[in-house]
Amino acid sequence: MLEHLKEQPADKILMLMQSYREDPRENKVDLGVGVYKDASGNTPVMRAVKAAEKRIWEDQTTKAYTGLAGDPAYTSGMIDLVLSGAAPKERIAAVATPGGTGAIRQGLELIRRAAPDATVWVSAPTWPNHPSIIKFLGMKMGEYRYFDDSTRGVDFSAMMSDLSGISTGDVVLLHGCCHNPTGANLSDAQWDEVIALLKEKGAVPMVDIAYQGFGDGLDADGAATRKVAAAMDECLIAASCSKNFGIYRERTGILMAIARDDKEAKIAQANMNFLNRQNFSFPPDHGARIVSTILGDPTLRADWEAELEEVRLSMLGLRQQLADELRQLSNSDRFDFIAHHRGMFSQIGTTPEKVETMRQNNGIYMVSDSRMNIAGLNAETVPLLARAIVDARV
Ligand code: PMP
């Protein structure tokens, strides 16, 4: 049986990590994998997470199964964190999932059950797992233009022009904040225009929010998702706790479905529970319990928010330092976009050849589409990267 399996293409980012590890140069810089790192290159366990884990260890009396939808304290805490009352709870169905990826997978499966012929539209470019899961599920997929390689901002007129061609009942996948891989985001007014277009077309938005708190702050980063939730009759939201709680390996995410009314929300809930049952039965609980412990305790929550803010500001500081450095070295403002991008990534918009040149000549490791993880930098490595970018004539 197993002899019939085909080789799988190697994952680009994992291959990059491997060659980084094998590179003997001392001043190499890893801007590949999407994990937050502090100035010394560590991905720390957040203080509030440690405290919550201690409390769970002391207080937890059972490891028996939770419900199929996960622990209600987690789902309701996350609904508040992401939506902050933007839609009435009776209209919201929610299930805990293994990470944001699990939420996207369950959301797409829900769409496929409800509307098997719908096309799911993704931004070009987007996080590669989006198209990969859509194709794996045998669903129809379309792409809307998003990034302008020359300005390194959103090509909004191209985006709107492509979205104006979609059909009633299609699904549009949007990044709630901190677009991955580009770092370029819609303005508030542009979100309004997208929402108006989706309403006019009778399309359903699916918002992927994986970096709430990494861009402009917890509330500012939730604003677009809340706008969508408040305006649309129906929408899906896939949220991840991997980044903002730093609990990547605990696999903690949530899928929310906002239905037209409470009756439809109950049916959506039953279908989401069913899908969890088919795919993994009960969702993982440890990460979810960390999150609900933090969100439910004012002291832990304040400490988590403060540390998340430190993380956010450190990335903004690195962005500014890099943009300043490039301004000086290139004697132009061509790279100011780096300071305007938000989140963990920026796509500098150059060719795979130039990315490879920077790797060979300067030990700079970024993904071949020129996405760089800003958190992979520190004050000492920013000048090395700036020099590499200028020398490679990006
Ligand atoms: N969506 C986007 C855009 C992401 O970048 C990620 C993480 N790389 C996720 C979802 C999901 O992350 P996880 O499954 O680790 O929670």
Express each pLDDT in 98-122 by its tens digit.
Answer: 999 999 999 999 999 999 999 999 9
Q: Taking residues 39-54, what's their average pLDDT?
A: 96
Positions marked active-site: 127, 208, 210, 243
Parse the chain into domains and list their residue ranges: 10-46+301-391, 65-296
Kindly state the DSSP code that residue 116 receives in the 8-state scheme. T
CATH code of 10-46+301-391, in short, is 3.90.1150.10
Q: Which atom of ligand 1 is nearest to the CA of 208?
A: 1
- For residue range 214-237, what is the model confidence (pLDDT) as tens digits? 999 999 999 999 999 999 999 999
What does the pLDDT read at residue 236? 98
Q: Per-residue pLDDT for 12 more than 90?
A: no
Q: Which atom of ligand 1 is nearest to the CA of 241?
A: 16
Compute the Cα dihedral for 206, 212, 215, 220 and give only its sign.
positive
**Sorting pLDDT into bands at 50, 70 and 90, what band is 287?**
very high
**Sorting pLDDT into bands at 50, 70 and 90, what band is 293?**
very high
Closest protein CA for atom 4 of ligand 1: 210
What is the total residue count of the chain? 394
Question: What pTM was estimated for this model as a whole?
Answer: 0.97
Give, in words, the CATH class of 65-296: alpha beta
Q: Which atom of ligand 1 is nearest to the CA of 101?
A: 14
**Sorting pLDDT into bands at 50, 70 and 90, what band is 274?**
very high
SS3 per residue for 131-167? HHHHHHCCCEEEEEECEECCCCEECHHHHHHHHCCCC
Q: Quote the CA–CA distance of 90 and 264 in Å, as a whole number.
A: 10
What does the pLDDT read at residue 338? 98
347 lines ligand 1 (CB under 6 A): no
174 lines ligand 1 (CB under 6 A): no
Q: Quote the CA–CA distance of 299 and 285 in Å, as a whole number.
A: 22
Q: Quote the CA–CA distance of 256 and 272 in Å, as a whole number.
A: 9
**Two structure tokens written together for 104:** 């996207």
What does the pLDDT read at residue 9? 87
Q: Quote the CA–CA distance of 30 and 372 in Å, as a whole number.
A: 9
**Sorting pLDDT into bands at 50, 70 and 90, what band is 126?**
very high
Q: Which residue from 330, 393, 383, 378 is spatially nearest to 31, judged by alpha carbons?
A: 378
What does the pLDDT read at residue 157? 98
Give distance in angstroms: CA of 332 to centre of ligand 1.
Answer: 34
